[in-house]
Amino acid sequence: MKQLWAPWRLSYVRTAHEKGIECFLCKYPKLNRDEEYYILKRGEYCFIILNRYPYNNGHLMIAPYRHVVFPNDLKDEERSEIFKFICLAIDALRSIYSPDGFNIGLNIGRDAGAGCEHLHFHVVPRWRGDTNFMPVLSDVKVISQHLRETYIELKKVLDVLN
């Protein structure tokens, strides 16, 4: 069995549910500092944000503005726009990185691996052979591009995609 290790995420997961910490998917869009918080695209009901703790380069999340936990809590308009944004994310990632495939999904609840209770969908580009000896021997995953650089590239593409 192949495993995808992401030990750098542990500090986030450990603090994600501390009392008094506002949900980041609720907080960041309200601040209107999209570049600082890596919000790539906004819609009427949802937004695309770069994952600060990525499994791979270009790891994106799509979330509704409304804090909901389960997919069946979404309104039809939110569901429709989220699916549209998942497709936009795939198009943008394909045009920049040419991945061989994608992992697309969601974790519902902390015990399922979600870092927060706010429903969000992951779009993770994958490349043939993107697991290598580093995670196995060193418990380290190499992300070869700085988040700021990833943000700039994806933002340019997503600004023209509708």
User: Where in the sequence numbering do the catalytic residues fall?
Assistant: 120
Task: Report strand pairing: 101-105 vs 60-64.
Answer: unpaired
The two three-digit tokens of residue 156, written as one number: 């340019």
Q: Judge whether 64 and 119 are in contact, CB under 8 Å.
A: yes
Which residue, among 102, 153, 152, has the nearest Cα to 130 in the 3D structure?
102
Q: Judge whether 26 and 59 are in contact, CB under 8 Å.
A: no
The two three-digit tokens of residue 25, written as one number: 């998917």
DSSP 20-72: TPPPHHHHHHHHT-TTTTTEEEE-SSEEEEE-SS-SSTT-EEEEESS--SSGG
